[in-house]
Amino acid sequence: MSRRMTILLFAVVAAQVIGLVVFATVRQVALTQGREVTLQTVPVDPRSLLQGDYAILDYEIAELHESLRDRPVGSQVFVVLRECGDVWCGAEQSPRQPDPTDVYIRGRINDRGRIDFGIGTFFVPEGTGHIVERAQDVKVVVSLSASGNAVIKEVLVDGRPFNPGMEQAR
């Protein structure tokens, strides 16, 4: 391999590493800088071939309002949130971006007629999906950016942060 090609090879490897670091940093910043809200969920438990076990999380606030049901699949919807005790619930749904002073989450209408917020997947260690599946109450703490994009911060299983090691020991 010529010197030029060797330099190119290692430039590509460096670009790959930079890409990975940027990807992780963007997600980490979204996680730490955003506003924290807790949402009520209903989970099910399938398996991803590449990423192992995960729980699919469906949210109470994902129920599409009647006035928006004629909108096509893939349309953007904003849900304004307000505190209802220990969780946040949907106060208002709109296809337009709400006032910046509101706390809101951005999603898209999926082909099941519900709203997909991009936080429907929670990865768990192998063989521990049943803990989430069998729980009586699952809540998700998410971090919301100023534009309404959400990142999962933590999952609360029956009121406690999800910790498969502790759950299995019990």
Partner 1 sequence: MTSDAPDNPSTPDVDFTRQLPAEVARWEADGIITAEQAEAIRNRYASDSPEAGGSAIGNRVVTVIAIMGAALIGLGIIAFIAANWSEIPKLAKLALMVVGTPAIYVIGWFIGYRFGYVRIGVAVILLGAIAFGASIHLVAQTYHVPVNHPNLVPLWFLGVIPLAYITRSQAVFALSIILFLAAAGFRAQEWVPELNSEDTILLLPGLLPLGAFLFAAGRMQARFPDTRQFARLCDISGLLVAAAGIYFLSFDELWWDIGRSKLSFNALTVEYWGMVAIAVIVIAALFAVAAWRDAGQRTGQIWWEAGAVGSMALVAAVMWLGLAFGGAWLWWVFNLVMLAGVLAMIAAGYRWNRAYLINLAVPIFAITLFTRYFEFGLGLLGQSVAFIVAGVILLAGGFGMEYLRRRLVRRIRESEAAS
Residues at the site binding partner 1, with contacts judged by CB under 8 A? 1, 5-6, 8-10, 12-17, 19-21, 23-24, 27-28, 31, 48-54, 72-75, 108, 111, 119-126, 128, 151-152, 164-165
User: Closest separation between CB of residue 15 and partner 1, Å?
Assistant: 7
CB of 3 to partner 1, least distance (A): 11
Residues in the chain: 170
Closest CA to 140 of 68, 54, 10, 36: 36
Closest to 87 in 3D by CA, of 59, 108, 113: 59
Which 8-state DSSP code applies to residue 68?
A: G
Q: Which residue number, 87 or 151, has a Cβ lying nearer to partner 1?
A: 151
Query: How far apart are CB 123 and partner 1 at their closest, in Å?
Result: 5
Q: Identify which of residues 92 and 118 has a Cβ nearer to partner 1 in the complex.
A: 118
CB of 101 to partner 1, least distance (A): 28
Looking at the DSSP assignment, which residues form a beta bridge with residue 78? 94, 106
**DSSP codes, 94-141:** ESS---TTSEEEEEEE-TTSBEE-S--EEE--TT-HHHHHH-S-EEEE
Rounded to whole angstroms, how far apart are CA atoms 32 and 26? Answer: 10
| Residue closer to partner 1 (CB basis): 9 or 84 | 9
Closest to partner 1 by CB, 79 or 109: 109
Nearer to partner 1 by Cβ, of 28 and 67: the residue is 28
- Minimum distance of partner 1 from residue 9's CB (angstroms): 5
